[in-house]
Amino acid sequence: MSTSYRARDIEVLEGLDPVRRRPGMYTDTSSPEHLAWEVIDNSVDEALAGHARRIEVRLHTDGSLSVRDDGRGMPVDLHPTLGRPGVEVILTTLHAGSKFSERVYRYAGGLHGVGVSVVNALSRRLEVSVWRDGAEYRMAFAQGEVAENLTRSAAARGTGTGTLVRFWPEPRYFASSTFSYDRLARLLRAKAVLLPGLEVAIVAEDPPRSDRWRYEDGLGPYLAETLGDALVRPSPPLVLSVPGEKMSLECALAWVDPESAEAPRPTESYVNLVPTPLGGTHVAGLRSGAAEAVREFCEVRGLVPRGLKLTIEDVVGSLAYVLSLRLREAEFAGQTKERLTARDAQGATAGAIKDALSLWLHRHPQIGEEIVAGLVRLAQARQQAAAVVERKKFSAALALPGKLADCTSRDLESSELFLVEGDSAGGSARQARDRATQAVLALRGKILNTWESRSEEILSSNEVRDIARALGVAPAQSDTAGLRYGKVCILADADSDGAHIATLLLALFLRHFRSLVREGRVHVAQPPLYRIDLGETVAYARDDAERDRILEALAGDAPGRRATITRFKGLGEMNPEQLRLTTMDPTSRRLIRLVLADVETTRSTEDLFHMMLSRRRAGDRRLWLERRGAEARAEV
């Protein structure tokens, strides 16, 4: 490392080089699915603008993915200042697009002008076809650079207009290079629901599979279908629609019976048809607006017993909803657009929801009183649970668990808590951690199966009580103001026993610390199962598939040489430096975040947990294992 620091030491990354150098800053590198969504969102924006009625996504046998729409087609004329075709500018230039102003698109999900150029940068090949002005235009790129210049030919009769983008992701940028048909299908179906009249299709070539959707009725039937047979009020779900010049919203909502523990409570939010699984300012506005409307209704009609106060969580804790916001000036937390940060959206959404819901409640007082009766029972149960917790002396003043190696930082967003199974692994993690920002809590063996337990009951478990005390948040507590760590990382061995422990901890958070899951704070660390040595090259693999990919790549780089493979028996077998490098260092580790992505995913996840962990489902578990046990795999 040079000790000098001069102007010649400053690197200037041009073109798409910044994306290839730091892909994680521009996309989700766990798989190439976010690249697919960047292309899909461009087609969806055409549909939002009223120019596209059909979108088809195709998964090809060679690992590529294509998206075709019948919109206006990407521009192919020369850019007035750059002197290159518009389609080339879009695909090769960061921060180039037509969505920074409202001249072409009133509402759009693509706002930064980097999305589809990131797809090009991280693909070994990308091909684009454009139909417009009675002609067909084609262009191809390799590793983000022009491979075939734009060509023009006569379009076939009846072709119409539109764009087709097909790309082959570069595997070295992603932990997994495959697309999940099921995840893509769920989100595509939601696009069709959110934009009535839009026809959306997905086709897989191997194995052959396809689905096609077109909805005319919107959010209400969609939410009702997702809720299934759950007891809800109102039934069918209420649909609120508030038009506006700069912002418009549509929301389907219903309260699920609070006493039905197994009933799904789906929550789903979108901005300009882009899913926001981590919520954001629009979801905060929905929650506060709904709470204000219900409280006002209760005050007018005297429905809340003296001494009881309905909190926001009392009102929205059992609320199932699908929120679709259309916003001119949408701002997201990052390029993956998982959380809306536009400040004006919270107040505008809260006001719109409050006014519309208040009007509906006063027009339907009987149903409104039935809803409030359930919420009052929920609030009373919360008060009783809080009393139990107080009797067990769970409080912020209580000493932290003895096995907690705390960090020195008190900044919430920079601090992390690692939950580690066993003293041996806990000792390695304590030595591997960054003492300033990373805390380690060693747990003793498999924790309690809490899936069917009430929140006040699980505090009898020492491990659960230690987790709650370390976090500063009690089970079932909606207020996370006392939270001590911005990230909670489950760290278990990379084998089947570790997966069992991680599952039990995930069940604990999903069932009893749901507020942390909603905020996107719960993660699962991905320690390696193998170390691979070849000369001076050292690599780590999370599972057999990644091991085989690494061996294949090393064989091409060093033909004839044999690699040494070491299988770790557990975290305690790794030295602290290995554990830090592979699992705890934020610059080199891999974490999987637990999110409630969409209605169907949340419901299917809860159904799977219930089948796997319910004491009453032992027979179903046995049948499932007999039929599908061999298919078990970890999916990132």
d(C-alpha 555, C-alpha 561), whole Å: 7
**Axis crossing angle, helix 281-301 with helix 343-363, rounded to the nearest 10:** 30
- Chain centroid offset of residue 11 CA: 34
Closest by CA to 225, choosing from 203, 199, 201, 252, is 252
E-only strand ranges, 16-70: 54-59, 65-69
**DSSP state for residue 23 in the 8-state scheme:** G
Would you say 332 and 256 are in contact if contact means Cβ atoms under 8 Å apart?
A: no
DSSP SS3 for 130? strand
DSSP SS3 for 542? coil
Would you say 32 and 169 are in contact if contact means Cβ atoms under 8 Å apart?
A: yes
* Gyration radius from the chain CA atoms: 26
Neighbours of 3 (CB within 10 A): 4
615 bridge partner residues: none
Neighbours of 85 (CB within 10 A): 21
Q: Residues, the chain, total?
A: 636
d(C-alpha 606, C-alpha 629), whole Å: 19
d(C-alpha 73, C-alpha 104), whole Å: 13
d(C-alpha 390, C-alpha 373), whole Å: 26
Residue with tokens 């007999």: 626
Question: Which member of 421, 456, 546, 600 is catalytic?
Answer: 421
Q: Which residues contact 162 (CB under 8 A, 6 or more apart)?
A: 52, 68, 69, 70, 71, 72, 73, 130, 131
Helices (H), 85-166: 86-92, 115-121
Half-sphere exposure at residue 346, Cβ-oriented, CA atoms within 13 angstroms: 11
Residue 52 has which token pair? 């596209």
497 counts as catalytic: yes
421 counts as catalytic: yes
Q: Which residues contact 327 (CB under 8 A, 6 or more apart)?
A: 107, 246, 247, 271, 272, 282, 340, 342, 345
Question: Which member of 28, 292, 493, 598 is catalytic?
Answer: 493
Question: Which member of 452, 495, 519, 585 is catalytic?
Answer: 495
d(C-alpha 440, C-alpha 584), whole Å: 11
Amino acid at 631: E
Amino acid at 600: E
d(C-alpha 314, C-alpha 235), whole Å: 20
DSSP SS3 for 134? coil
Type and span of the H or E element at 141: strand 135-142
Question: Which member of 329, 370, 497, 635 is catalytic?
Answer: 497
- Chain centroid offset of residue 585 CA: 22
493 counts as catalytic: yes
Q: Which residues contact 410 (CB under 8 A, 6 or more apart)?
A: none
Phi, psi of 388 (to 5 degrees): -65, -45
Q: Which residues are catalytic?
A: 421, 493, 495, 497
